[in-house]
Chain A
Amino acid sequence: MTIRAPQPRPTDAPAPLTTSDADESAWQRRHLLDLDDVSVDELDLVLQTADTMKEVLSREVPRVPALRGTTIMTLFYENSTRTRASFELAGKVLGADVINVSASASSVSKGESLIDTVKTLQAVGADVIVLRHNRSGAPYLAARHARCSIINAGDGLHAHPTQALLDLLTIRSRIGDVRGKRVVIVGDVLHSRVARSNLWSLTALGADVTVCAPRTLVPVGLEHAPEGTLPPVRVEIDLDRAIVGADVVMALRMQHERMQGGFVPGVREYSRLYQINAARLARAKPGALVLHPGPMNEGVEISHEVAHGLQSHVEEQVTNGVAVRMAVLWLITRTLSRGGRLPAGSAL
């Protein structure tokens, strides 16, 4: 499967995914599918709400009754540790009931389609379905056929909005406003939904984003896209140049299957040229943040000493992931209760 560049959403897509109810609040979304169309106000509201959720998480007994009576189902067609666990915990801290459905152990393995599975979960009583799927765009399809809310927990090569939000929360809580800050995203951007969602949110907030990877792993046309179609970023092939003066260095996972795909000559060459190690990090701004969406291949895209060094905020990212997902669940369910559930089969 090759994807040339993040596709702008086709015009017949089920946009706008909002309730029709006019409300002065900055949040109107019933689904969270990607960050390509979120406003600065919406990003601010999520981050501000996440700060409140951090306070809840810091309590001796982190539990509030905000989502009592709400049922959240996680439907994962791909493996996951941190995303699923943090969504589950986020729901539970807010007092919701959380049910985990893994595709391999459900009727999906008997051939049930995505739409039917979503409709079944909704009929059982799901208010929110957290969906991870190996096909890009699957959450859009689900949202089109669902009365409940759909949160994209990663779809194919396309988007992983809550990961980008937690990256943003981590960056903001460490260095404040990202406007004008230099962010370097290093690694397999071509196959990274994390990078795609991050490009949208970081550039929306005015960060100066550079993508650094071998040519084979940079989406074609990313640099020269017509204005407004793709996030405005710079591409730099040489990591030693790209990293100079960076405020944030984000390493992406080098997936083993890509090594066999002929995108890079080999692990050793890749890590020699693109590994974030102490020597390279020294060229960034002093105290620059190192982020990684996990799971890390230590010794490949990031050296052991940097991964666990003082500048690494990887663990904090995971903690922030719970707060951000609480914020998203809270905001999404507010929209549900304001707009009510749409009748079956109605257009979005």
Chain B
Amino acid sequence: MPEANIMSPADIRRAIVRIAHEIVEHNRGTQDLVFVGMRTRGVPLAQRIAAAITEFEHEQLPVGTLDVGLYRDDLTERGSSVNIQPSDLPDVAGKRVVLCDDVLYTGRTVRAALDALIDFGRPERIQLAVLVDRGHRELPIRADFVGKNIPTSRGDDVQVRLGETDGEEYVRVAAGEEAEALR
């Protein structure tokens, strides 16, 4: 299976710093900003973006973690995981929440996250930041901040690895068999 290296650790770092600047610019400062990472790899991304903002704005921003296992709409389908973990969120009512995840694909996980988030309070606004947008949306959802747009086939496997969760760091695309056959 051929693999293409899409982002190196340096690429990932630059993308996160750029997203951090875009978030502050877009929100005209850091007032009421709250970061929420979606388990698993959204969590280190949220922490890194918040830390990057602290670097240039000298402002500590709250970071929470969200598990959407109990909110998924594919629970009746095969392969849905039984593993769920507690969410740990700061107060989100009236805040500007930036939801962070590694890959935006069908949009179904984000849909679940929106439901979950709203159960914790009524944020003033919810924005979405992702490291990779690979297309193929099944719901009317888009990201406000994107590290990199990667055109993919449905059969491709987008692999995001982050130091905190995986011990190594890269973004790769492995072409799926289906995609191979079309070439």
Contacts and interface: CB of A to CB of B under 8 A. Distances in A.
Contacts of B82: 25-27, 45, 49, 330-331, 334
B71 A55 contact: no
Interface stretch (A56-64, A236-244, A290-298, A300-308): A56-64
Contacts of A94: 70
Contacts of A330: 70, 82, 84
B52 to A, nearest CB: 28
A337 interface: yes
Interface in A299-348: 330-331, 334, 337-338
A27 B80 CA distance: 12
A108 interface: no
A55 B87 contact: yes
A322 B46 CA distance: 32
B75 A337 contact: yes
Contact of A25 (B75, B83, B85, B115): B83
B68 to A, nearest CB: 10
B120 A59 contact: yes
Contacts of A51: 85-86
A66 B85 CA distance: 14
A61 B80 CA distance: 25
A52 B86 contact: yes
Contacts of A61: 119
Contacts of A54: 86
B119 A59 contact: yes
A49 B119 contact: no
Contacts of A25: 81-83
Given A63-B119, A65-B71, A66-B70, A337 B84 contact: no
Nearest to B82: A334
A64 B86 contact: no
Max count, chain A CB within 10 A of own CB: residue among B84, B86, B88 = B84
B119 A337 contact: no
A192 to B, nearest CB: 31
A337 B84 CA distance: 16
A55 B71 CA distance: 14
B102 interface: no
Contacts of A334: 75, 80, 82
Nearest to B112: A65
Given A55-B87, A337-B75, A64 B119 contact: yes
Interface in B58-102: 67, 69-71, 75-88
A49 B85 CA distance: 7
B71 A64 contact: yes
A45 B84 CA distance: 10
Given A64-B70, A66-B70, A94-B70, A338 B84 contact: no
B140 to A, nearest CB: 20
Nearest to B85: A52
A45 B85 CA distance: 11
Contacts of A52: 67, 69-70, 84-86
B114 to A, nearest CB: 13
Contacts of A26: 82
Nearest to B73: A65
Given A56-B70, A66-B71, A338 B78 contact: yes
Contacts of B116: 64
A142 B86 CA distance: 34
Interface in A36-72: 45, 48-49, 51-52, 54-56, 59, 61, 63-66
Nearest to A61: B119
Nearest to B93: A60
Given A25-B82, A51-B85, A55-B88, 14 more contacts: A25-B81, A48-B83, A52-B67, A52-B69, A52-B70, A52-B84, A56-B70, A61-B119, A65-B70, A65-B115, A330-B70, A331-B82, A334-B82, A338-B80
13 contacts: A25-B81, A49-B84, A52-B70, A54-B86, A63-B119, A64-B119, A65-B71, A66-B69, A66-B75, A94-B70, A330-B84, A334-B75, A338-B79
In the A-B complex, list the 4 residue pairs whose CB atoms are closest, starting with the nearest.
A55-B86, A66-B70, A64-B70, A334-B82
